[in-house]
Amino acid sequence: MTGKTIRVLLVDDQDLVRQGLRLILELAGLEVVAEARDGAAAVTAAAAYDPDVVLMDLRMPGMDGVEATRRITTSSAARVLALTTFDVDQHVVDALRAGAVGFLLKDVTSEALVEAVRRAAAGEPVVSPAVLTRMMDHFAARPPVQPAPPPGFAELSDREREVLALIGRGRSNAEIAADLVISMATVKTHVRHIFAKLDLRDRAQAVVAAREAGLG
């Protein structure tokens, strides 16, 4: 995004929250191209304004943020960051599964908010290791269910399944390389193939996929 102003769509049913987000982003030199108060309006605004990043509240009346995220990521290249007052709950997991590239708590600092938006716009991962740990804790606390492997899982090699399982446990690429006694370059190749075969955008979605497949 170098040399190009990042365009942001704000989605939240609380006017005060949107006003605060707008102020923070505009002071940092980002452009807020539109605002929406519910999921349906967000989908319409995303189509009309073609934002680079969408800050998406998950709990809204009418169409919620999860469904809006699914529709926006399916029809555009916009990267969605979920906004929530909760830490990690099922809504957050569903939003990541629907295509969100990460999530932010609404009490996030101004600096962290701007940094997350910039990273999302640049196509970089925006889910921290601490968040991945909380996601895994969330999955561990849920009642066990019959694994339902994601589409494309059957195409993974045995080694790729090993790597996916380790991603599901929160391992970094360096840790995976050490665990499997392979090079970092090989790990990165496996991760790239996994993401392509399972149609994953980032590591957060890989954690969800690993858990759905009963790995980790």
9-48 per-position pLDDT tens digit: 999 999 999 999 999 999 999 999 999 999 999 999 999 9
Would you state the structure tokens that stand for residue 201, as one six-digit string?
């955008």
Tell me the fold of 7-126: Rossmann fold (3.40.50)
202 three-state secondary structure = coil
Q: What is the pLDDT, as a whole number, of residue 149?
A: 74
pLDDT, tens digit, for every residue of 54-64? 999 988 888 99
Q: What is the CATH number of domain 138-212?
A: 1.10.10.10
pLDDT, tens digit, for every residue of 164-193? 999 888 788 999 999 999 999 999 999 999
58-62, 85-89, 207-211: range with lowest mean pLDDT:
85-89
Q: What secondary structure does DSSP assign to 94-138, as a single string?
A: HHHHHT--EEEETT--HHHHHHHHHHHHTT-----HHHHHHHHHH
Beta bridge partners of 82: 56, 103
- β-strand pairing of 79-84 with 7-11: unpaired
Which residue ranges make up each domain of the chain? Answer: 7-126, 138-212
Q: What is the pLDDT, as a whole number, of residue 101?
A: 85
pLDDT, tens digit, for every residue of 98-135? 888 888 888 888 998 999 999 899 877 677 555 666 66
Average pLDDT over residues 76-101: 81
- Burial of residue 142 (number of CB atoms within 10 Å: 0-12, 13-18, 19+): exposed
Which residues, in sequence order, are CB contacts of 176 under 8 Å at separation 6+?
A: 163, 166, 167, 182, 187
Residue 86 pLDDT class (50, 70, 90 cuts): low
Q: What is the pLDDT, as a whole number, of residue 39?
A: 94
Q: What is the pLDDT, as a whole number, of residue 129?
A: 58
